[in-house]
Chain A
Amino acid sequence: MLVVRKSLFEEIVGHLRDELPNEGCGILAGKDGVVMKIYRIANVARSPTSFLMDPREQLDAMKEIRESGLEMVGIYHSHVASPAYPSERDVRMALYPDATYLIVSFQDRERPRARAFRIVGGEIEEEALLLGGGEGYGDKDLPERT
């Protein structure tokens, strides 16, 4: 399960919208599947159909995450004109089995859709994506599912 505070989720969507018409990407940092911070990473592919994180930015983000005592809980990117489901390329390049892959689709630009997946050994498994309204993530704060 991936839990994202609503304000952070809006930040993710805002970042990815800023990158249109190209795909955008970033790293989700947190603990135990709860996202606490996002890192926007430049897409050096600069393409509407692919992304490749800038290695320097990726390295710096991953070191900062480690040094701050957090974990990389996930990786996010957008699909500009296709559904929020891992492509063959996404699966081939999913090299972090412990990470959740959050994909936001802008197929309908007015209503982006997001889904979360675990990709291990080429197998795709959908994970629950929960948007929390508060900081506590108690049951009452987790009413929404995208």
Chain B
Amino acid sequence: MGIRIYLNGREHVVSPGLSVAGLLEEKRMRPEVVVVELNGRILAKEEYGTTFLREGDRVELIYHMGGGAPPAPADEQAR
């Protein structure tokens, strides 16, 4: 019997005892590039392995959005 959670707003069934880290692994999402919100709270990355999903949990998984300009010429010379 699985556990029903809401993943990015959609119903999703996971195995009992699955951690957030396990969920990321299932979704093939690298922990270092994601933000995880569980029931309205953003989790610290250190919590992923110790936080286990429960019936009715609301989980939001998003990727960090970032980037920026190319290095300035001085930065390139410094390499």
A134 within 8 A of B: no
Question: Which of B9, B42, B63, B66 has the most C-beta atoms of chain A within 10 angstroms of its own C-beta?
Answer: B66
Q: Number of B interface residues at 8 Å Cβ cutoff, please give it.
A: 18
> Contact string, A53-72, partner B, CB cutoff 8 A, digits 1/0?
10110110011001100000
Task: Write the nearest CB–CB distance from B10 to chain A, whole angstroms.
Answer: 9
Chain B positions within 8 Å of A, measured between CB atoms, are 8-9, 33, 35, 37, 42, 60, 62-72
B37 pairs with A59, CB closer than 8 A: yes
Q: Which residues of A contact B35 (CB under 8 A)?
A: 55, 58-59
The DSSP consensus for interface residues of chain A is mixed
Chain A positions within 8 Å of B, measured between CB atoms, are 23, 25, 27, 41, 45, 47-53, 55-56, 58-59, 62-63, 66-67, 75, 77, 79-82, 86-96
Contact count A vs B, C-beta below 8 Å: 82
B65 pairs with A88, CB closer than 8 A: no
List 16 interface pairs A-B (beta carbons < 8 Å), by A numbering. A49-B68, A52-B65, A55-B42, A58-B65, A59-B37, A67-B9, A81-B69, A87-B68, A89-B66, A90-B67, A90-B68, A93-B65, A93-B66, A95-B33, A95-B64, A96-B63
| Of B37, B60, B67, B70, the contact of A93 (CB 8 Å cutoff) | B67
Given A55-B42, A56-B42: A89 touches B68 (CB 8 Å cut-off): yes
Q: Which residues of B contact A53 (CB under 8 A)?
A: 64-66
Q: Which residues of A contact B42 (CB under 8 A)?
A: 55-56, 59
Q: Which residues of A contact B64 (CB under 8 A)?
A: 52-53, 55, 93, 95
